[in-house]
């Protein structure tokens, strides 16, 4: 948590003024019982009406000043706490953005969302409360005890007995409940994770009629959380009855001793009222202090969790090499040199000893069974993951040496999962190239076979896409993501199984259109369909992380059994002979 304090340094003034005004308010609060005592002893007892008015007025003034101090303190504390949380949120967000996919996979989306939302909110509330009460509450407890001693030492001895007892009860309960609160917080995180998974997978849940099972597992998690909260709540609920019994006992003792001492003439009624007020103030402040400690502990725990996320170092180091002038507009030379990739935490390598060259303007098809490493291979080009062995080179330079932003600017990637954002079609295509005018956007849409989709919308390019593109079909989403990659005229275009939702006719038209990009892009097409990559200049065949074949479609049919098997599984009809199949070819 210590390292997070740098985000609050800008609010040093507020961090000093907030507690200071609270202390000022506490000073006025401590004078009120004394003024009450004077009002009773010198005003009411002696029927001195002007004095009563004077003291009554003084009480009003004290209340007004106290209120002003309290509001001012609240203002400064809130400003510091909100500012702290805002800066922290920015820092965490920026840090998450800087992490590579390796660290993101390790941390998990749910955890990062919790750090960004509920943890930072907890830090904000804890800071706000601590700034207002950490000085004020102990100050009132000690101040009220001292005031009591100045009134009457013997009566105040009751304070000397009751305050430690009260402190033991209040802080004992606090110490018992604090670890439980931390468990509750941990469980709340788990429940958030379950909720998130449920909401993001709601369609699958319904498709597989798993609502009942999901409801049941959510109910179990929720019930467990409720039971834990009830348990902690019951112990915390003991705080009030126990402390009030003690305080009422002390009040009885105080009134008893006070009555005797009033009879003896050593104490006045006003002083007894003041002592009772001080006793109440002490109780209230001890309870507040315990709550402040609980909140602050939670705040520190959440702060530590945020800090550990901030301490995760990105394994992605930025390079300093730029693309040569003009090179960024031309198709790139891509080389894989004995490349291996082992994901962090995974036992074995997902890719091993991959070596090939993609000449500028070539189209490279990548095919292989599920989990054979196709996506992993193309993800190393824009450095989503770095090769653990060997090197990936673009135009002769290791990808790690390029400035990351520039490297990615020269690559257009269409991911397996078509993700679009809330906004118009134009805005979504602008993600690829913010400077593209409507003519360029329309050209990209035309190439991606998406023009007809836009033509079908009365608003044209202004048609509003909803979050995640949920008001579009899977195929329409894919076409827009392809257009988004094409509009930047990238030196390297990667299509990762991105035509899977297209019908065969549209897929064929798309492949034909991509054939016109030889002068601008080197293209990688990952696909499960041989028909999608058949025309590629070079096809890479992956099997269980190994490059088991490389060549043209015809060459591979001759000499790569894995490729042949895939091809046969897609084209060979039952009962078809080899000669018939070759005729089809
Ligand atoms: N982020 C990751 N962390 C750990 N292992 C991963 C990660 N991504 C992929 N893998 C593993 O790497 C291997 C190759 O996965 P990859 O996604 O590259 O295969 P693929 O050929 O693209 O599969 P598919 O055709 O199903 O998309 C798999 O065994 C997978 O479990």
Is the CB–ligand 1 distance for residue 209 below 6 Å? no
Mean pLDDT (whole number) for 270-287: 88
Closest ligand 1 atom to 368 CA:
21
Measured by CA distance, the residue closest to atom 5 of ligand 1 is: 343
Average pLDDT taken over every residue of the chain: 87
Best of 315, 343, 548 for a ligand 1 pocket test (most atoms within 8 Å of beta carbon):
343
Query: What is the C-alpha to C-alpha distance for residues 550 and 455, in angstroms, rounded to an integer?
Result: 41
Is the pLDDT assigned to residue 574 strictly greater than 60?
A: no
Closest ligand 1 atom to 416 CA:
27
- The CATH number that domain 414-489 falls under is 3.40.50.300
| Distances from the Cα of 114 to the Cα of 78, 85, 119, 262, 310, angstroms | 22, 14, 6, 60, 14
Is the pLDDT assigned to residue 377 strictly greater than 80?
A: yes
Is the pLDDT assigned to residue 291 strictly greater than 50?
A: yes
Contact yes or no for 389/339 (Cβ under 8 A): yes
Residue 78 — pLDDT band, cuts 50, 70, 90?
A: very high
Who's near 533: CB < 8 A, 6+ residues apart?
365, 366, 367, 525, 527, 539, 553
List b or e across 152-191, with b for residues whose CB sees 16 or more CB atoms inside 10 angstroms: beebbebbeebbeebeebbeebbeebbebbeebbebebee
Who's near 378: CB < 8 A, 6+ residues apart?
366, 413, 494, 496, 524, 526
Measured in angstroms, how far is the CA atom of residue 412 from the centroid of ligand 1? 21
Measured in angstroms, how far is the CA atom of residue 530 from the centroid of ligand 1? 20
Measured by CA distance, the residue closest to atom 30 of ligand 1 is: 371
Domain 323-410+490-551 and domain 414-489 have a common topology: yes
Residue 154 — pLDDT band, cuts 50, 70, 90?
A: confident
Is the CB–ligand 1 distance for residue 347 below 6 Å? no
What are phi and psi for residue 522, nearest 5 degrees?
-95, 130
The pLDDT of residue 182 is: 74
Contact yes or no for 110/200 (Cβ under 8 A): no
Q: Which residue has the tokens 């202390």?
A: 23
Tell me the two tokens of residue 317. 């180091």
Query: What is the C-alpha to C-alpha distance for residues 326 and 314, in angstroms, rounded to an integer?
Result: 31
Query: What is the C-alpha to C-alpha distance for residues 20 and 489, in angstroms, rounded to an integer?
Result: 61
The pLDDT of residue 232 is: 84
Q: What is the pLDDT of residues 58-73, one digit of tens each?
A: 999 999 999 999 999 9
One of 1.10.3720.10, 1.10.10.60, 3.30.70.520, 1.20.1560.10 is the CATH number of 9-310, namely 1.20.1560.10
Interface confidence (ipTM) of the complex: 0.95
Who's near 157: CB < 8 A, 6+ residues apart?
none
Query: Taking the model in full, what pTM does it have?
Result: 0.72
Mean pLDDT (whole number) for 72-85: 96
Q: Which residue has the higher pLDDT, 502 or 266?
A: 266
Best of 354, 367, 376 for a ligand 1 pocket test (most atoms within 8 Å of beta carbon):
376
Contact yes or no for 163/124 (Cβ under 8 A): no
**How many percent of the chain have pLDDT more than 70?**
97
For the chain, domain boundaries: 9-310, 323-410+490-551, 414-489
Kindly report the number of other CB atoms within 10 A of residue 27's CB atom.
15
For the chain, the first-to-last Cα distance in angstroms comes to 66
Is the pLDDT assigned to residue 34 strictly greater than 90?
A: yes
Q: What is the pLDDT of residues 167-214, one digit of tens each?
A: 888 888 888 887 887 788 778 878 877 887 788 788 788 888 888 888
Measured in angstroms, how far is the CA atom of residue 478 from the centroid of ligand 1? 21
- 206 half-sphere exposure, CB direction, 13 A CA radius: 4
Measured by CA distance, the residue closest to atom 11 of ligand 1 is: 350
Query: What is the C-alpha to C-alpha distance for residues 309 and 311, in angstroms, rounded to an integer?
Result: 5
Burial of 458 (0-12, 13-18, 19+ CB in 10 A): exposed
CATH H superfamily, domain 323-410+490-551:
P-loop containing nucleotide triphosphate hydrolases (3.40.50.300)
Is the CB–ligand 1 distance for residue 373 below 6 Å? yes
What are phi and psi for residue 356, nearest 5 degrees?
-165, 165
Is the pLDDT assigned to residue 367 strictly greater than 80?
A: yes
Is the CB–ligand 1 distance for residue 374 below 6 Å? yes
365: left (phi over 0), alpha (psi -120 to 50) or beta: beta
Is the CB–ligand 1 distance for residue 105 below 6 Å? yes
Mean pLDDT (whole number) for 80-105: 91
Is the CB–ligand 1 distance for residue 376 below 6 Å? yes
Among residues 240, 233, 222, the alpha carbon closest in space to that of 288 is found at 240
The pLDDT of residue 180 is: 82
Is the CB–ligand 1 distance for residue 108 below 6 Å? no
Tell me the two tokens of residue 21. 């005004």
Measured in angstroms, how far is the CA atom of residue 376 from the centroid of ligand 1? 6
Measured in angstroms, how far is the CA atom of residue 468 from the centroid of ligand 1? 23
DSSP structure class, residue 116: I
Measured by CA distance, the residue closest to atom 4 of ligand 1 is: 343
Is the pLDDT assigned to residue 501 strictly greater than 80?
A: no
Best of 354, 371, 381 for a ligand 1 pocket test (most atoms within 8 Å of beta carbon):
371
Best of 340, 341, 373, 562 for a ligand 1 pocket test (most atoms within 8 Å of beta carbon):
373
Q: In what order do the strands lie in the sheet with 411-414?
A: 397-398, 389-394, 334-341, 351-358, 546-551, 538-543, 363-368, 522-526, 492-496, 411-414
Closest ligand 1 atom to 373 CA:
18
Is the CB–ligand 1 distance for residue 375 below 6 Å? yes
Measured by CA distance, the residue closest to atom 17 of ligand 1 is: 375
The pLDDT of residue 169 is: 85
DSSP structure class, residue 384: S
């Amino acid at each position: 948590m210590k390292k997070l304090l740098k985000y609050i340094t800008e609010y040093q003034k507020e961090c000093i003024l907030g507690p200071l005004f609270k202390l000022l308010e506490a000073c006025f609060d401590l004078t009120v019982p004394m003024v009450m005592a004077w009002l009773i002893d010198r005003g009411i007892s002696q029927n001195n009406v002007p004095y009563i008015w004077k003291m009554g007025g003084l009480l009003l003034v004290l209340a007004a000043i106290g209120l002003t101090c309290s509001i001012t303190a609240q203002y400064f504390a809130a400003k510091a706490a909100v500012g702290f949380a805002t800066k922290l949120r920015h820092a965490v967000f920026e840090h998450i953005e800087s992490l590579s996919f390796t660290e993101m996979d390790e941390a998990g989306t749910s955890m990062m969302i919790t750090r960004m939302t509920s943890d930072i909110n907890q830090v904000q509330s804890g800071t706000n409360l601590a700034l207002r009460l950490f000085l004020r509450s102990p100050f009132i407890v000690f101040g009220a005890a001292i005031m009591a001693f100045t009134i009457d030492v013997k009566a105040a001895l009751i304070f000397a007995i009751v305050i430690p007892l009260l402190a033991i009860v209040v802080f004992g309960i606090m110490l018992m409940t604090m670890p439980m609160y931390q468990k509750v917080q941990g469980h709340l995180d788990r429940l958030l994770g379950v909720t998130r998974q449920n909401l993001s997978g709601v369609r699958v849940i319904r498709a597989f009629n798993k609502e009942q099972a999901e409801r049941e597992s959510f109910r179990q998690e929720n019930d467990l959380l409720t039971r834990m909260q009830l348990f902690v709540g019951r112990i915390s609920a003991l705080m009030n009855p126990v402390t009030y019994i003690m305080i009422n006992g002390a009040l009885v003792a105080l009134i008893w001793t006070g009555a005797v001492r009033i009879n003896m003439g050593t104490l006045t009624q006003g002083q007894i009222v003041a002592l009772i007020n001080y006793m109440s103030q002490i109780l209230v402040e001890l309870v507040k202090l315990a709550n402040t400690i609980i909140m602050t502990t939670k705040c520190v725990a959440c702060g530590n969790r945020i800090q550990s996320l901030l301490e995760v170092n990105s394994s992605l180091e930025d390079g300093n090499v730029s693309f040569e002038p003009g090179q960024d507009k031309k198709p790139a030379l891509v080389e894989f040199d004995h490349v291996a990739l082992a994901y962090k935490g995974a036992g074995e390598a997902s890719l091993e000893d991959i070596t090939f060259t993609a000449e500028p303007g070539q189209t490279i098809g990548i095919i292989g069974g599920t989990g054979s490493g196709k996506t992993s291979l193309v993800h190393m080009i824009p450095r989503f993951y770095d090769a653990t062995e060997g090197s990936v080179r673009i135009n002769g330079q290791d990808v790690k040496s390029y400035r990351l932003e520039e490297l990615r600017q020269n690559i257009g990637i269409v991911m397996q999962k078509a993700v679009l954002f809330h906004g118009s079609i134009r805005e979504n295509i602008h993600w690829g190239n913010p400077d593209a005018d409507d003519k360029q956007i329309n050209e990209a849409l035309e190439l991606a076979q998406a023009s007809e989709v836009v033509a079908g919308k009365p608003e044209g390019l202004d048609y509003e896409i909803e979050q995640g593109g949920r008001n579009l079909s899977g195929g329409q989403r894919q076409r827009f993501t392809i257009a988004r990659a094409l509009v930047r005229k990238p030196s390297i275009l990667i299509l990762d199984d991105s035509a899977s939702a297209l019908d065969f006719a549209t897929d064929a038209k798309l492949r034909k259109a991509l054939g016109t990009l030889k002068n601008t892009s080197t293209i990688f097409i990952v696909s499960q369909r041989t028909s999608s990559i058949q025309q590629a200049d070079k096809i890479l065949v992956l099997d269980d992380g190994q490059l088991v074949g490389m060549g043209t479609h015809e060459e591979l049919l001759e000499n790569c059994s894995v490729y042949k098997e895939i091809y046969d599984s897609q084209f060979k009809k039952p009962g078809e002979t080899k000669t018939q199949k070759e005729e089809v070819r």
